[in-house]
């Protein structure tokens, strides 16, 4: 059986067609037009799947990696940073449009599964994956299987409370990790401190003056406490970082030190690794979930 994996992101929708040995047959990327609304995104996904389907004569499985969590009872999406998905029966709607069964999973879970089986965490049993991009998410993979939790929210690291009464979050609560260390949150904080609107990429190029130091220290502290909380509870064998923010090199040395300082034990050596699959973790993860679930 061949596999189609779709990574449904806030800015792009990527699709891949793999053969049974995970070799790429076809790959295609289209823009996500959030401004055109939910129906147009469902339509883009279906036409991408249908286009990939024409490239093989084999039977196919379809896996979709999406922001947000599907409520186990209602089938509706919750806590998605692509906010037009919230409250929508996304899986049902795509299945109806395709007339084909699909497997759908949260993007951070797909990322963690892909890095566990094919990427940076191949050698490790208990893996915590973190995506820091437009949003922040986490996933837990144990011995090659996603640990989903009893209500499907295991690993939802981006919405654990870092600071009570802190920044407002779209999820309706305050102080979530995502409101401090997502790409947009970091750029917003930079604007507050310096009055300059700059991209994260250009901000981290030179962090020598005092304002930059303040921004970096806050960032490292928030990252350090957030990741230390995970280690205290899960004590994973490895932590893998993904998403645009994971390209910041100081997370792997200074960032790691902040994490270790905040962990309950002083006997800590959990590796914090950069992902290996880059942007491809989503599509590969989406293919892998059709084997795993």
The answer to the question of residue 153 lying near Zn ion (CB under 5 A) is no
CA separation for the pair 115, 275 (Å, rounded): 7
The answer to the question of residue 160 lying near Zn ion (CB under 5 A) is no
The answer to the question of residue 169 lying near Zn ion (CB under 5 A) is yes
The answer to the question of residue 176 lying near Zn ion (CB under 5 A) is yes
127 versus 162: smaller Cβ distance to Zn ion:
162
176 versus 251: smaller Cβ distance to Zn ion:
176
124 versus 223: smaller Cβ distance to Zn ion:
223
Instruction: Using CB under 5 A, pick the residue from 171, 212, 268, 293 that binds Zn ion.
Output: 171
CB 81 within 8 A of CB 11: no
In angstroms, give the least distance from the CB of 171 to Zn ion.
3
13 versus 176: smaller Cβ distance to Zn ion:
176
Point out which span in 51-59, 153-161, 190-198, 251-259 binds Zn ion (CB under 5 A): 153-161
In angstroms, give the least distance from the CB of 138 to Zn ion.
13
Residues in contact with Zn ion by the rule CB under 5 A:
159, 169, 171, 176
């Amino acid at each position: 059986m061949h596999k189609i994996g779709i990574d449904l992101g806030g800015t792009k929708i990527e699709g891949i067609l793999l053969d049974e040995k995970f070799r790429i047959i076809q790959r295609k990327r289209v823009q996500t037009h959030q401004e055109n609304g939910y129906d147009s995104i469902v339509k883009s996904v279906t036409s991408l799947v249908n286009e990939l389907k024409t490239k093989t004569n084999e039977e196919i499985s379809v896996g979709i990696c999406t922001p947000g969590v599907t409520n186990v009872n209602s089938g509706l999406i919750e806590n998605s940073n692509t906010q037009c998905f919230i409250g929508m029966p996304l899986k049902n709607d795509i299945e109806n449009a395709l007339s084909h069964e699909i497997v759908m999973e949260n993007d951070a879970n797909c990322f963690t599964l892909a890095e566990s089986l094919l990427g940076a965490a191949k050698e490790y049993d208990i893996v915590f994956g973190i995506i820091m991009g437009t949003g922040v998410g986490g996933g837990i993979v144990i011995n090659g299987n996603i640990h989903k939790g009893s209500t499907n929210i295991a690993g939802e690291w981006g919405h654990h409370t870092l600071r009570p009464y802190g920044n407002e979050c779209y999820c309706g609560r305050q102080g979530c990790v995502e409101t401090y260390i997502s790409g947009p949150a970091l750029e917003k904080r930079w604007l507050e401190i310096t009055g300059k609107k700059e991209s994260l990429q250009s901000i981290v190029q030179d962090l020598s003056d005092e304002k930059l130091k303040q921004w970096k220290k806050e960032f490292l502290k928030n990252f350090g406490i957030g990741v230390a909380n995970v280690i205290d509870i899960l004590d994973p064998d490895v932590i893998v970082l993904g998403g645009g923010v994971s390209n910041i090199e100081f997370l792997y040395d200074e960032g790691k030190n902040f994490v270790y300082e905040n962990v309950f034990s002083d006997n800590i050596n959990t590796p914090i690794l950069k992902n290996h699959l880059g942007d491809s973790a989503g599509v590969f993860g989406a293919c892998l979930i059709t084997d795993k679930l």
